[in-house]
């Protein structure tokens, strides 16, 4: 028995076509017709396929990508308190132990000053206050890493001695020493901001000039050994004696 081919009804074909078009039209309407970072949208690609001349013309024209995101107005969020830190519960031990560590550090370094003053060595210098704040308040910060701290302290102090030897006291020596210290920390990936003040302190401080290259070890690096020991004690107390 021969089978008779069945043709779809014209009405059904129109219904299928209209239903497909009605479903796809919102999808096409949602596609934006704007450029973003040089990416051509769906509608424009369809129009370009219909007009090959326009496509070849667009290929010949260079596209300039505008980085508008980098030109936005400065955000004021950096002037506000950190929301994550504000939401964290603050314990009394988080305040007492870092403060006690800073007190113990300056007391020990001050006592060492009295012992080493006949030799002209001062251990309790201003940059160590910033080092204490970093070690006791933010012990997990990159600046608190031992590699960063010791390499930056020794390298920047030596840079200050070289700059003073070459340029003598004055603004030029300070400028060159600070620029070289920042470049040194960037190249060695040893970011430790307090170390940038060591070359300036050597250039302006006549009491350090007799140390010459020993200044790379005293007072910065030698005092940081004591501060690291105190940091370990403070972190242990914060973890095990909370109140």
Checking if the pLDDT of 168 tops 70, the result is: yes
Q: Which residue has the higher pLDDT, 3 or 128?
A: 128
Give the pLDDT band (50/70/90) at residue 218: confident
In 71-196, which residue ranges form alpha helices assigned H by DSSP?
83-87, 93-116, 127-137, 146-167, 171-188
Mark 33-42 as b/e (b = at least 16 C-beta within 10 Å).
eeeeeeeeee
Q: For position 202, what pLDDT does the model report?
A: 94
Q: What angle do CA 200, 186, 156 make, to 5 degrees?
A: 30
Across 225-236, average pLDDT:
93
Between the CA of residue 37 and those of 31, 55, 95, 110, 139, what are the distances in Å?
Answer: 16, 18, 49, 59, 41
Write the pLDDT tens digit of every residue in 4-51.
554 544 444 444 444 444 444 444 444 444 444 444 444 454 455 455
Report which of residues 227 and 83 the model is more confident about. Answer: 227
| Predicted confidence (pLDDT) per residue in 107-147, tens digit | 999 999 899 888 878 888 889 999 999 999 999 999 999 99
List, in order, residues 6 or more apart from 203 with CB less than 8 Å away. Answer: 160, 163, 164, 169, 173, 174, 177
Does residue 201 register a pLDDT over 70?
Answer: yes
**Residue 197: is its pLDDT beyond 90?**
yes
Distances (CA, A) of 215 to 1, 85, 121, 239: 109, 38, 9, 36
- Using an 8 Å Cβ cutoff, are 199 and 177 in contact? yes
């Amino acid at each position: 028995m021969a089978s008779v081919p069945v043709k779809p009804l014209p009405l059904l074909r129109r219904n299928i076509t209209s239903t497909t078009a009605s479903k796809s039209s919102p999808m096409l309407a949602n596609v934006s017709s704007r450029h973003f970072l040089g990416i051509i949208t769906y509608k424009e690609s369809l129009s370009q396929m219909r007009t090959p001349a326009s496509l070849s013309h667009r290929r010949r024209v260079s596209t300039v990508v505008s980085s508008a995101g980098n030109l936005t107005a400065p955000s004021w969020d950096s002037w506000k308190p950190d929301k994550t830190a504000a939401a964290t519960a603050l314990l009394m031990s988080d305040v007492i132990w870092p403060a006690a560590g800073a007190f113990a550090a300056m007391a020990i370094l001050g006592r060492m000053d009295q012992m080493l003053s006949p030799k002209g060595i001062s251990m309790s210098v201003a940059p160590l206050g910033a080092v204490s704040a970093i070690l006791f308040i933010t012990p997990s910060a990159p600046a608190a890493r031992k590699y960063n701290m010791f390499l930056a302290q020794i390298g920047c102090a030596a840079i200050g001695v070289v700059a003073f030897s070459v340029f003598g006291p004055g603004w030029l020596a300070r400028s060159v020493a600070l620029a070289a210290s920042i470049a040194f920390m960037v190249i060695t990936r040893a970011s430790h901001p307090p170390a940038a003040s060591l070359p300036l302190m050597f250039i302006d401080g006549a009491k350090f000039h007799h140390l010459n290259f020993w200044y790379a070890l005293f007072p910065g690096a030698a005092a940081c050994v004591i501060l690291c020991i105190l940091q370990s004690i403070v972190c242990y107390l914060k973890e095990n004696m909370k109140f």
